[in-house]
Amino acid sequence: MSVDLRLPDLGEGIESADVLSVLVSVGQAVDAGDSVIEIESEKATLEVPTDAAGTVTGIHVKSGDTIAVGQPVLTLEPDGAESPAAPAASEAQVDEAPGPTADGAPDGAEAAPQRATLEPTTASAGPEVHVAPPFADADADADGRPVAAAPSVRTFAREIGVDVRQVEGSGPGGRISMDDVKAHARRRPSAPASDVAPPLPDFAQWGPIERVRLSRLRRTLADNLSRSWTTIPHVTLFQEADVTDVEALRAEYKERAKARGAKLTITAFILPAVAASLKAHPELNASLDLAAGEIVRKGYYHLGVAADTERGLLVPVVRDVGTKGVIEIAAELTDIAERARAGKLTLDEMQGATFTISNLGGLGTGFFTPIVNPPEVGILGVGRAVPRSTLHDDAMQTRLMLPLSLSFDHRALDGADGARFLSSIVDALQRPTMLAMEP
């Protein structure tokens, strides 16, 4: 009895994905857990395995296709079945059910194909990186009731920047159609001319050009970052931290960390300093709920760490930072960095951050202005530490100075709140031994 494998629910309101590659062929035997396709969603790139074992008898997608959740991906003949591998079926053949016979059984078959599920397990580009969808709760209204709109309508609304919850449906029972979304968009106030991108000139008239299609992840990042920049009033504060003592500790313990498979970097010291400061300043470990008129303060400290990979920016999350030692954090950072480059991070590992750290020091950057990643209200930018002559203990000394840039949502906190928070991080980094004694 053949088994149809379908694209599973990817979570986070994701309704479709682009097929990057098909990893199996017709006639190939697969085991449960083997990856069969690679897809790219708004959040990440995923290798999707099957939970059934058997022989591939049909492949219903190809590279470049956009497929929806629940759509057939391939057909398996389970282990133990005698049917030979069949040629790839067309999408029309997969979606068309056989007609019933007089006795109610499908014509030409003993039983309809069963369904199996695919489980997404890895991610390599995304998101979401720790990037929130444009309207994370767009499937429900203020009372938690599902919005009466087809997935395609909700997707279209998000793409043109319309909150589908605000659209009045004209269909039966208030169901929202594509035309309703368009009509709602037309009724919105027109954007200022300065906000409308002018048409591009024909660059080819001046020389050779190349057009590279934006990946789904890059398009999502562009939309979300534009929305963050235009809707969140950003304030960025700058301060330097003397990390001379941190560097001395790092040099002293790097071999001990290496023995545990960890690369001890300054980031491993920054994370507990940030967690301690978040605990002292809960207004930064929060989210702003404008609809409810509330600030949501979180009692846990999960820090997103932006990572640069070949496929784009990823923001894996280190959880419960305040309960872990520096070497333990270093081991976790080493692990997630390696798996990020190899495309082995799970979606769950890139969700749930309360605050984000973006370290561009390895690329030689100093101060910069990071963009807040909603629904968080703050992000810390870390530059390259450089030796510089400065006054220390009433004498001019050469000290290692680390540039820090804090961007925050001015709607959620005042400038003085941000200044106190940034100063507390600086103080913690300048007393690393005390920080280790006070987890």
The Cα–Cα gap between 290 and 286 comes to 13
DSSP H helices, 232-266, are 244-259
Centre a 10 Å sphere on the Cβ of residue 225 and count the other Cβ atoms it contains: 14
Q: Which of 314, 353, 305, 131 is nearest to 222 (CA)?
A: 131
Give the separation between CA 266 and CA 382, rounded to whole angstroms: 10
DSSP string computed for 267-287: HHHHHHHHHHHHHH-GGGSEE
Beta 234-242 vs 395-409: how paired, if at all?
antiparallel
Q: How many CB atoms lie within 10 A of CB 245?
A: 16
60 is an active site residue: no
Using a 10 angstrom Cβ sphere, with 0-12 exposed, 13-18 middle and 19 or more buried, the burial of residue 294 is exposed
Contact 385, 426 (CB under 8 A): no
d(C-alpha 284, C-alpha 419), whole Å: 11
Residues ≥6 apart with Cβ < 8 Å to 33: 49, 50, 51
Handedness of CA 263, 267, 271, 273 (dihedral sign): positive
75 contacts 2 by C-beta, under 8 angstroms: yes
Element (H, E) at 340: helix 326-342
Short-list 247, 284, 254, 263, CA closest to 423: 284
Q: Which of 60, 234, 302, 410 is catalytic?
A: 410
Beta-carbon contacts of residue 370 (< 8 Å; ≥ 6 apart): 236, 356, 358, 379, 380, 381, 405, 407
Return the amino acid letter for 341. Answer: R
Burial (CB count <10 Å: 0-12, 13-18, 19+), residue 233: exposed
Distance CA 146, CA 221 (A): 26
Question: Which of the residues are catalytic?
Answer: 410
